[in-house]
């Protein structure tokens, strides 16, 4: 036959009660809370019935509830009960028994309750209880289906005894002096440096759109998608901090805040190479600058952000980490969102640790931005370089000597290649 209702959620139109109804069938049912909740979510239906069954009902009073409803209809509505009760399925109601030891109870609550005091609490709650030594075996009434473990009984005793009667004491655990890890100290120093360089710290979403999750990454990068995203705009984990920072700049510029300098220290996520579904999670530092570096005054013109302003900030940062002499900048043309003529990869001891560059003009135009520059650095290699022990060398025996050298070189030779 045809369905007459969505069990535990909503009745069907064919079985609806109307003003012309003269005969009614009462159903007192028991539905699984999890199944009701899933059905309610799947069909986007919420009702008093679903709310009730999702929380669970007293199994012991289902029959009594049905009989009581029939009696009230007969008494108040002038109806006649044709059949007293018919059960489609019977079940044996087994009341659970939860045990707890007096010593354990006092240890958790921090009290010194006696056996008689605890027995009195369970008697007030009308929980049938047997005592063997210092152990209480408590039979849980059917209407308290929220009690199933020892901790639930501790809470019940504390509630009835009175939380205000529990003595306040200091923690008895051994305390130790806390401290920051090397990475935490490094991130804290980086924040202080960036703030000193004039950048403001930003906190952005770790979730973004499928399109933006691939911005500022290599073509073979694989993003991590959520199994059940709330919306498509927040459906994938970011592979770079730069798309979110770019959104923050766009938001500010659209509200007439044209000089924006932001940085963020956060985590990025991606999948391994093809065939490897392991998640890779890295800590990175990123920044974005647009507009004026310095404001105009009576004797000085406003200075615009350019590639070398951002590069200068990073070089000073590397100098403070004592690794500037091990850092190189090489041309980079593989990132579609960056200007191919004003973008470089950053290498530390020959290992790529980040990038610096100008946002591509087409992206700037689409977002209605002026010249905007970005950088992004991996934390781990910088942290490792910062933790290396300094090597002390003796003072040179001979004075230093300086020479000027003039060479003839082609215009295609870069400064990085020459040095």
Query: Does some domain include residue 285?
Result: yes
Report the DSSP pairing between strands 5-6 and 372-378: unpaired
Say yes or no: 26 and 65 in one domain: yes
Q: Per-residue pLDDT tens for 222-261?
A: 888 888 888 888 888 999 999 999 999 999 999 989 899 9
Kindly state the helix (H) or strand (E) to which residue 345 belongs, with its residue range: strand 338-348
DSSP 297: B
Say yes or no: 309 and 202 in one domain: yes
Domain of residue 234, CATH code: 3.30.930.10
Q: Per-residue pLDDT tens for 258-312?
A: 899 999 999 999 887 666 667 888 999 999 999 988 887 878 888 899 999 999 9
d(CA 311, CA 309): 5
Query: Does some domain include residue 406?
Result: no
Residues listed for the chain: 419
Say yes or no: 310 and 161 in one domain: no
Mean residue pLDDT across the chain: 87
Whether 347 shows a pLDDT value over 90: the answer reads: yes
Query: What Cα–Cα distance (Å) separates residue 107 from each residue in 104, 130, 166, 174, 372?
Result: 5, 21, 12, 17, 61
CB atoms within 10 A of CB 303: 12
Q: Is 164 exposed, middle or buried (0-12, 13-18, 19+ CB in 10 A)?
A: exposed
Say yes or no: 209 and 351 in one domain: yes
Query: Does some domain include residue 105?
Result: yes
Strand extents, DSSP E, 153-209: 200-201, 207-208
User: Is the distance from CB of 417 to CB of 331 less than 8 angstroms?
Assistant: no
Say yes or no: 267 and 380 in one domain: yes
Q: 3-class DSSP state for residue 99? A: strand
Say yes or no: 152 and 195 in one domain: no
Strand extents, DSSP E, 172-259: 200-201, 207-208, 236-237
Say yes or no: 63 and 128 in one domain: no
d(CA 191, CA 197): 10
Domain of residue 113, CATH code: 3.30.56.10
Say yes or no: 201 and 267 in one domain: yes
Domain that holds residue 291: 182-387
Query: Does some domain include residue 327?
Result: yes
Query: Does some domain include residue 341?
Result: yes
Q: Tokens at residue 82, please?
A: 């044709």
Q: Per-residue pLDDT tens for 25-64?
A: 888 888 888 998 998 888 888 888 888 888 888 777 787 8
Kindly state the helix (H) or strand (E) to which residue 159 belongs, with its residue range: helix 150-161
Query: Does some domain include residue 396?
Result: no
- Please tell me the predicted confidence (pLDDT) of residue 84: 64
DSSP 264: E
Which residues are CB-neighbours of 70 under 8 A, at least 6 positions away? 26, 81, 84
Say yes or no: 110 and 216 in one domain: no
Domain limit, last residue, from 139, 165, 191: 165
Q: 3-class DSSP state for residue 269? A: strand
Phi, psi of 222 (to 5 degrees): -120, 125
User: Is the distance from CB of 56 to CB of 33 less than 8 angstroms?
Assistant: yes
User: Is the distance from CB of 342 to CB of 358 less than 8 angstroms?
Assistant: yes
What torsion, rounded to 10 degrees, do the Cα atoms 345, 347, 350, 351 define? Answer: -90
Say yes or no: 210 and 353 in one domain: yes
Q: In which band, very low, low, confident or very high, does the pLDDT at 334 lie, cut at 50, 70 and 90?
A: confident
Cross-strand pairs, 377:
285, 354
Query: Does some domain include residue 217?
Result: yes
Domain limit, last residue, from 165, 196, 220: 165
Q: 3-class DSSP state for residue 390? A: coil
Say yes or no: 156 and 214 in one domain: no
Say yes or no: 121 and 201 in one domain: no
Domain limit, last residue, from 132, 165, 198: 165
Q: Per-residue pLDDT tens for 97-137?
A: 999 999 999 999 989 999 999 999 999 999 999 999 999 99
Query: Does some domain include residue 206?
Result: yes
Q: Per-residue pLDDT tens for 179-213?
A: 888 899 999 999 999 999 999 999 999 998 888 88
Alpha helices by DSSP H, 254-392: 307-320, 361-366, 379-387
Domain count within the chain = 3
């Amino acid at each position: 036959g045809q369905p007459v209702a969505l069990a535990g959620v909503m009745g069907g139109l064919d079985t609806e009660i109307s003003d012309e109804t003269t005969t009614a069938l009462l159903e007192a049912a028991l539905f699984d809370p999890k199944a009701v909740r899933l059905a309610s979510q799947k069909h986007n239906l919420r009702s008093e019935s679903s709310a009730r069954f999702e929380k669970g009902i007293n199994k012991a009073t289902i029959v009594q509830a049905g009989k009581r409803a029939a009696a009230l209809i007969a008494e108040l509505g002038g109806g006649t009960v044709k059949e007293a009760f018919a059960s489609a399925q019977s079940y044996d109601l087994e009341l659970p028994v939860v045990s707890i030891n007096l010593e354990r109870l006092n240890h958790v609550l921090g009290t010194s309750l006696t056996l008689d005091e605890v027995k009195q609490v369970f008697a007030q709650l009308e929980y049938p209880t047997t005592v063997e030594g210092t152990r209480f075996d408590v039979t849980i009434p059917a209407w308290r289906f929220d009690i199933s473990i020892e901790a639930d009984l501790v809470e019940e005793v504390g509630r009835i005894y009175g939380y205000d009667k529990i003595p306040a004491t200091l923690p008895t655990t051994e305390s130790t002096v806390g401290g920051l890890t090397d990475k935490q100290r490094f991130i804290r120093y980086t924040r202080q440096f960036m703030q000193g360089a004039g950048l403001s710290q930003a906190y952005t979403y770790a979730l973004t759109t499928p399109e933006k999750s691939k911005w500022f990454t290599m073509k073979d990068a694989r993003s991590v998608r959520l199994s059940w995203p709330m919306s498509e705009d927040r459906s994938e984990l970011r592979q770079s901090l730069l798309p979110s920072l770019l959104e923050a700049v766009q938001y500010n510029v659209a509200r007439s805040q044209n000089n924006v300098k932001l940085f963020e220290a956060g985590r990025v996520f991606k999948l391994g190479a093809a065939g490897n579904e392991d998640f890779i999670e890295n800590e990175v530092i990123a920044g974005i600058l647009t507009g004026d570096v310095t404001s105009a005054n009576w004797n000085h013109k406003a200075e615009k952000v350019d590639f070398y302003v951002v590069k200068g900030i990073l070089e000073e940062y590397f100098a403070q980490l004592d690794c500037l002499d091990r850092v190189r900048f090489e041309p980079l043309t593989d990132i579609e969102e960056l200007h191919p003529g004003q973008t470089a990869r950053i290498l530390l001891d020959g290992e790529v640790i980040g990038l610096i560059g100008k946002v591509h003009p087409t992206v700037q135009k689409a977002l209605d931005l002026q010249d905007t520059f970005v950088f992004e650095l991996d934390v781990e290699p910088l942290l490792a370089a910062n933790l290396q022990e300094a090597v002390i060398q003796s003072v040179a025996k001979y004075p230093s000597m300086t020479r000027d050298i003039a060479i003839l070189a082609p215009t295609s030779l870069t400064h990085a290649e020459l040095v």
